[in-house]
Chain A
Amino acid sequence: MSGHQYLSEEGFRVDGRRAQEMRKLDCSLGVFAQADGSAYVKEGNTVVLAAVYGPHEVRGGRVKALHDRAVVNCQFSAATFSTAERKRRPRGDTKSVEMTLHLQQTFETAILTKLYPRCQIDIFVEVLQADGSILSVAINAATMALVDAGIGLRDYVCACSAGVFNDAALLDLNNLEESQKGTGLTVAILPKTERIVLVDMSSKIHSDHVSKTIEAAIEGCKDIHATFDAKIKERVGRLAALINTEN
């Protein structure tokens, strides 16, 4: 009888966390000099790098430009070395295309596109290490990159994954837990109003468990928001002091 015990009787998961505990979260802003905004987010062993360019002129002809809003263009790519087994294609496979669409829809809602008519905003997300919850970390990284670029957002977009095991909700799944028959879902919210922007679920969860899992994920998102917010405020405070504001 081998096989991992995702939640032991003592309440610990395979890596030693309790059911509602999240992994170690770390992030750096402004890592990429040539982009307008960039962020490097590390959640446990999942590492994602996001770069934002814009708002700038719409490339590819004036036809694509929207007269009253900005165009949001996303690209999601996972490095070939990001998973345990080397991937063939970094982008263009179904998973990446789906993630790209998710990102696009999420950020079209969150970015105040009305502020930038006839412009284009590019968001590039690259997964460097994939250890579960890549969509949620990608969304977090993109949010931080957008904040770093100074693009107007309605609110942060914080995302977190959650799953259910033996009637208990587990927060922030790693690769091992996600690969267990995929009983996980990802939730992204605007933390201030707790409005859900994205729910992504690619498995079967019984309807009794769904609300519980989503609530747990929302709590996780709020925790992430608190961490990010503190980090941003500290950084702004530190760097703004250096720039003379009397202009």
Chain B
Amino acid sequence: MLTQKVFLRKTKRGNILKIVREHYLREDIGCGSVACGRCDSESTRPLQKDFESASKVVEHAHYIVPDTNIVLHQIDVLKDEAFRNVIVPQTVIQELRHRHAPAYNSIREMLAIEERHFYCFVNEHHKDTYVERLPGESANDRNDRAIRRVVGYLQSHLAEQGLSIEVVLLTNDRECLNSAKKEGLTAFSLKEYVGGMGKPELLDKISIDADGSSEGDPVTNKKKFMYPEHLTPIALQAGIKSGRLRSGKFMASRDNYLEGFVCLGDNEDESDRVLIQGLMNLNRAVQDDTVVVEILPESEWVCPSSVVLEDEPEEDDKVDEEDDDGDEVEREKKVEKALKESKTEKGVEKMPTGKIVGILKRKWRPYCGILAPSAIKEATKHLFVAAERKIPKIRIETRQAAALTGKRIVVAIDSWPRHSRYPLGHYVRTLGDIGDRKVENQVLLLEHDIPHQPFSQAVLNCLPKMPWLITPLDESKRQDFRSVPTCSVDPPGCTDIDDALHARSLPNGNFEIGVHIADVSHFIRPHTALDREAATRGTTVYLVDQRIDMIPDLLSSNLCSLISDVDRFAFSAVFEMTEDAKVVGAKYCKSIIRSKNSFTYAEAQARIDDKARKDEVTEGLRVLNSLAKKMKLKRMENGALNLASSEVRFQVDSETHDPIDVKTKELLEVNSMVEEFMLLANKSVAEFIYNELSHCALLRRHPVPPVGNFDPLVRAAATRGFDIQVDCGKHLADSLDRASIDTDPFFNTMLRMVATRCMSQAIYFCSGTIAKEDFLHYGLALPFYTHFTSPIRRYSDLIVHRLLAVAIGADATYPELLDKVRVQNLCNNLNYRHKMAQYAGRASVTLYTQIYFRDKNVLEDGYILFVRENALQVLLPKYGMECTLYVKDKPGGQQRIKVPFTYDAEKCTQTAGDVTLRQFERITVRVSLDRTNIQHQKLVVELVRPHIPGFSVDIEKPMEVDEPRNDGEPEKKKTRAV
């Protein structure tokens, strides 16, 4: 049977099109129940026949049909094991797909799990359940009618066969419930149904509706606090089209909860941002939302503040049953006023400022954090504080407050109505105790969106069977380098060896240099579960005590890893170089190698220095070393930048896994040697694959930072009388080299650290998507660059391997490899994963540092990295960490600092009395851990030397070490010993 779907659509140009589509109605769609004898025998039947009713509200066994809003908003409730034999109509699934991708994915997962007995009923194409839209009926009403029709049809279909299985409709919509009852269908609201299930924790998971109350009850709360209304979607679209409003991504400020930015362009660079200040202007936007902003007239533009402000709960913060946010309004207004009056950093001009008038798309996800319980004992409404600073507090309703204090929990936001100061959400699950290392690690991984589950069976099935042997077929396709003296140089304890090198003299006086990289693309084939998992993970994540692998252990530590004394597959780049390190030839091939030694850096260095050793491998190392030095000089001449960054390494107690000591990583000559050859391989491969596959090569670029980025660097150097030129990379490198003080060797290093902060991010991209001039890697001063040398721990390298294999004819292509849109999407994902992995790594270091300082306080050397209006950023080189030393109190907060400081923005100094603290000055500080805020424990430094009376710490007196209070009461602020 055939009907038509006719509707009108407006094109971009404004024309109205009449779209006519066929709509076939079928007779072969089954009801999905095993018990049914009438439906087509070919159809799938996941629904059970004999089972118990899940809820006491319905006597017999029954199938559940939820409506769209239930699935959309209450997905966490449906995920519970108690919900089985659920029929999801096609109408619901289609709506989900359009509105909320995560809920759609969840439903699809549940449909796939056999034990849950979920069935997707294709009601739109079923002869008896297709519902046409009546004239004047809204789309929502039509969908509701369709779902009710499904229930009605299935009920009579089963009843006709004499089966006693009922079909029950679940909906929270009042009208739908009433209509259903009128039509004689069994229907319940979710709360009624769940109430009869005998699982109180499920009731908690029921989320609150958009108007701030569950189940559509009329709102009785006092509305003292009101955010401005959001504009309707039509008004927003009209505004954007006319140019009056702009849309962009909202980025909350980490340090200041009253401030945020909206990035109008695609990149997150500084040039296209609008400042938003004040709660009313922020108007309920949450980090990463796509918002619509109205830019205020120029007279109202302000500067971004340099003040650090946290939304900390005050002692007298009462959180009632009734949402009495009135007091908060007053407090907030005071803070905002002080914010506006605070002086800003010199040189920072007024920015375009605006206010948010609507949200286009919410980007809410489940957040980790802790519960800040209400002062009232029997209260059910509590505030949840997220671990991520940029997320506001969330109000949730739970009966288990007592059980949840002191634990890390996961909460999801449901809505943010106008009258609520905070967004409303619901509890999802518990992770474990606060402070427990494993739980904190878990939080870290969740917050940084790092997939860390063990590899699924589907992925493990893709691994090769052991024992793995090299067949003659393999040998015929590869070059045999097993007799060549290759060796690898890696950090101690490294199990995933990516690369091996060799060097030999050629008869014509040149050298043959081989860079052999683990041939991961041989084991990971496209379109397998293993490949998909690796693509999602994107990179191996290195935490202090843990390594989240991108690929399973069998490959990363065994079959792919170039371990010594075993035959391994490799992808080799063989270069011919003259004595002056000039590359005269490059060849790429798949090969088999047998590494002779797996050195650590120290061992390799020792071998080079040991004059007695004259074997092949050592000679090769020496050749590599001397060539590397020449190559480095050449690179520096070309304008490559050499910036410092502090990498630290923790020595961990083997039993408790708590950190014992901290060491900064040292750099030996051999580190540089390996680095040079990796760079050479990367850049040669980049050029080669670009020439062969110019439209889809995966390359890496480092965009030139805008000149404004370098302002902090230029000012910092100017305070000591050095002039840094920032017009091009070469000049920057040279002027950085010149800016050094003999008496203070650390000054230059610090300057380089500041320079690192000014850089933009290096990113992966697909060569077909941008112009050739933009391929430049600024930091390395290379026109082409990519990542090729670490496929075990980076997915981008694996793709480059595949591209190179196609280019040399050693492997077949597949469509996604050559599709530049797909490659660019992959690059975007990899960039995101890479960034998250970096943040996670740093957060792990921070976590460990905090654990290390838990019961200590130490005197350390520190260097002032930045001078701000109210604080100093102090770098502790031993730990590679930065801390904030406040010199002024927070506006509106307690006044604790008694000594007045004067800030000079031009000279970057803070003066108190006759002591001046300058940028890059070395000071001595006492370091301890401030554990008052459980989630955001921070390192606190107090000034010891130079001694400022009334401010600096007197080291004679012992310090109180405060323990955090465990009874869940909000803490009193720790007083500082003076």
Residues of A within 8 A of B (CB): 1-2, 5, 8-10, 12, 14-17, 23-24, 44-45, 84-85, 131, 174, 176, 204, 206
Contact B24 A15 (CB under 8 A): yes
Query: Do B21 and A14 touch (CB < 8 A)?
Result: yes
Contacts A1-B101, A9-B108, A10-B122: A174 and B22 contacting too (C-beta < 8 A)?
A: yes
A residues within 8 A CB of B815?
A: 204, 206
8 pairs of residues in contact across A and B, judged by CB atoms under 8 Å: A5-B97, A12-B125, A14-B21, A15-B22, A17-B24, A44-B22, A45-B22, A204-B815
Tell me the smallest distance from the CB of A133 to a CB of chain B, in Å: 13
Q: How far is the CB of A205 from chain B (nearest CB, A)?
A: 9
Q: A12-B122, A24-B2 are in contact. Are A1 and B20 (CB under 8 A)?
A: no
Residue contact A176 to B17, C-beta cutoff 8 Å: no
In the complex the two chains form, what is the Cα distance from A23 to B90 in whole Å? 22
Q: Across the interface, do B21 and A15 meet the contact criterion of CB distance under 8 Å?
A: yes
Residue ID in chain B nearest A14 by CB atoms: B21
Q: Which A residues lie within 8 Å of B607 (CB)?
A: none
Residues of B within 8 Å of A15, CB to CB, are: 21-24
Docked pose: A16 CA to B94 CA in angstroms: 13
* Contact-residue bracket for chain B: 20 to 34
Q: Give the contacting residue for B20; candidates A9, A16, A45, A85; CB below 8 A.
A: A45
B25 at the binding interface (Cβ < 8 Å): yes
A2 to B104, CA, bound (A): 12
Determine which of B11, B17, B122, B814 lies in contact with A206 in the assembled complex, contact meaning CB atoms within 8 Å. Answer: B814
Chain B residue numbers with a CB within 8 Å of A8 are: 90, 122
Most buried by B among A2, A5, A10, A44: A10
Contact yes or no, A84 B18, CB < 8 A = yes
State the main secondary structure of chain B at its contact with A. Answer: mixed
A23 contacts across to B, CB distance below 8 A = 22
CB distance from B937 to the nearest CB of A (A): 39
User: Distance (Å) between the CB of B448 and the closest chain A CB?
Assistant: 24
Once the chains are docked, how many angstroms separate the CA of A10 from the CA of B124?
A: 12
Is B26's CB within 8 Å of the partner chain A? yes
Do A84 and B22 touch (CB < 8 A)?
no
Q: Is the CB of A9 within 8 A of B120?
A: yes
Chain B contacts for A45, CB-based, 8 A? 20-22
Given contacts A8-B122, A24-B22, could you give 18 more A-B pairs where the C-beta distance is less than 8 Å? Answer: A1-B97, A1-B104, A2-B97, A2-B98, A9-B108, A9-B111, A12-B122, A15-B21, A15-B22, A15-B24, A16-B25, A16-B124, A45-B21, A84-B17, A84-B19, A174-B21, A174-B22, A204-B815
- Please tell me if the beta carbons of B21 and A10 are within 8 angstroms of each other in the complex: no
With contact pairs A1-B104, A9-B120 given, residues A176 and B97 touching in the complex (Cβ less than 8 Å)? no
Pair B97/A85 contact, Cβ less than 8 Å: no
A1 close to B98 (CB less than 8 A): yes
- How far apart are the CA atoms of A16 and B124 in the complex, in Å? 8
Q: Is the CB of B23 within 8 A of A16?
A: yes
Pick the 4 closest A-B CB pairs, nearest first.
A16-B125, A16-B24, A206-B815, A1-B101
Residue of A nearest to B25 (CB): A16
Minimum CB–CB distance for A52 against chain B, Å: 29
Inter-chain contacts of B2 with A (CB < 8 A): 24
Q: Chain B residues in contact with chain A, CB under 8 A?
A: 2, 11, 15, 17-26, 90, 97-98, 101, 104, 108, 111, 120, 122, 124-125, 814-815
Nearest A residue to B101 via CB reads A1
The count of A-to-B residue pairs whose CB atoms sit within 8 angstroms is 51
Q: Which of chain B's residues has its CB closest to A174's CB?
A: B22
Which residue in chain A gives the minimum CB-CB distance to B100? A1
* A contact residues around B814 at 8 Å (CB): 206
A18 to B22, CA, bound (A): 14
B26 partner, pick from A2, A9, A16, A206, beta carbons under 8 A:
A16
CB distance from A126 to the nearest CB of B (A): 19
Min distance, Cβ A168 to any Cβ of chain B, angstroms: 15
- Docked Cα-Cα span, A131 to B19, in Å, equals 10
Contacting residue for A85 out of B15, B26, B98, B124, CB 8 A: B15
CA distance A60 to B2 in the complex (A): 48
Q: Quick one: closest B residue to A167, CB to CB?
A: B527
The answer for the CA separation of A165 and B102 in the assembled complex, in Å, is 23
Alpha-carbon gap, A174 to B24, bound state (A): 13
How far apart sit A131 and B97, CA to CA, in the bound complex (Å)? 26
Residues of chain A within 8 A of B122, CB atoms compared? 8, 10, 12
Chain A residues, Cβ within 8 Å of B97: 1-2, 5
Chain B residue nearest to A21 in the complex (CB): B24
CA–CA, A76 and B280, complex, Å: 64
Q: What residue in chain B is nearest A24 (Cβ atoms)?
A: B2
Contacts of A44 on B, CB cut-off 8 Å?
A: 22
The distance from the CB of A102 to the nearest CB of chain B, in whole angstroms, is 26
With A and B bound together, what is the CA distance between A10 and B43 in angstroms? 10
- In Å, the complex CA distance between A15 and B124 comes to 10
Q: How far is the CA of A45 from the CA of B104 in the complex (A)?
A: 32
Residues of chain B within 8 A of A5, CB atoms compared? 97
CB-based nearest A residue for B96: A1
Q: Which residue of the partner chain B has the closest CB to A2?
A: B98
Residues of B within 8 A of A9 (CB): 108, 111, 120
Shortest distance from the beta carbon of B952 to any chain A beta carbon, whole Å: 58
A residues near B21, Cβ cutoff 8 Å: 14-15, 45, 174, 176
State how many angstroms separate the Cβ of B385 from the closest Cβ of chain A. Answer: 31
Hey, which chain B residues are within 8 Å of A1, CB to CB?
97-98, 101, 104
Residues of chain A within 8 A (CB-CB) of B90 are 8, 10
Q: Which residue of A lies closest to B28 (CB)?
A: A18
- When chains A and B are docked, how far (Å) is the Cα of A17 from the Cα of B125? 9
Distance between A137 CB and nearest chain B CB, rounded to angstroms: 14
What residue of chain B has the Cβ atom nearest to residue A1's Cβ?
B101
Q: Which residues of A contact B11 (CB under 8 A)?
A: 85
A23, B815: Cα distance in complex, Å: 30
Q: Using CB atoms, name the residue of chain A closest to B15.
A: A85
CA of A174 to CA of B22, assembled, Å: 9
Bound state CA distance, A10 and B11, in angstroms? Answer: 31
Closest B residue by C-beta to A176: B21
Q: Indicate if the CB atoms of A10 and B120 lie closer than 8 Å.
A: yes
**Chain A residues in 8 Å Cβ range of B25:** 16
B96 to chain A, nearest CB (A): 10
Measured between beta carbons, the chain B residues less than 8 angstroms from A14 are 21
A144 CA to B98 CA, complexed, in Å: 43
Q: Which residues of A contact B15 (CB under 8 A)?
A: 85
Q: Give the distance to chain A from B649, nearest Cβ to Cβ, in Å.
A: 43
| Residues on B with beta carbons closer than 8 Å to the beta carbon of A206 | 814-815
A2, B24: Cα distance in complex, Å: 22
Give Cα distance in the complex from A5 to B94, angstroms: 9
- In the complex, the chain B residue whose C-beta lies closest to that of A129 is B20
CA distance in complex: A14, B124 (Å): 10
Q: Which of A2, A14, A24, A84 has the largest number of chain B CB atoms within 10 A?
A: A84
| Separation of A204 and B98 alpha carbons in the complex (Å) | 28
Closest CB in chain A relative to B84 CB, distance in Å: 20
Within the complex, the shortest CB–CB distance from B547 to chain A, in Å, comes to 33
Alpha-carbon distance between A8 and B90 when the two chains are bound, in angstroms: 10
CA distance A2 to B11 in the complex (A): 16
- By a CB distance below 8 angstroms, the chain B residues around A204 are 815
CA distance A136 to B897 in the complex (A): 85
Q: Which residue of B lies closest to A209 (CB)?
A: B815
Roughly how many angstroms separate A62 CA and B90 CA in the complex, as a whole number?
A: 65
Residues in chain A near residue B18, CB distance under 8 A = 84
Shortest CB–CB separation between residue A165 and chain B, in angstroms?
A: 13
Smallest CB–CB gap between B548 and chain A, Å?
Answer: 28
What separation, in Å, do the CA atoms of A204 and B813 have in the docked complex? 14
* A131: min CB distance to chain B, Å: 8
In the assembly, what is the distance between CA of A44 and CA of B23, in Å? 10
Q: Specify which chain A residues have a CB less than 8 angstroms from the CB of B22 in the assembled complex.
A: 15-16, 23-24, 44-45, 131, 174
Residues of A within 8 A of B17 (CB): 84-85
CB distance from A83 to the nearest CB of B (A): 9
Alpha-carbon distance between A12 and B815 when the two chains are bound, in angstroms: 25
User: In the complex the two chains form, what is the Cα distance from A4 to B101 in whole Å?
Assistant: 14
| Complex Cα–Cα for A15 and B19 (A) | 13
User: With A and B bound together, what is the CA distance between A39 and B31 in angstroms?
Assistant: 42
Q: CA separation between A209 and B20, bound complex, in Å?
A: 30
Which residue of chain A has the shortest Cβ distance to B819 in the bound complex?
A: A204
The closest CB in chain A to the CB of B26 belongs to A16
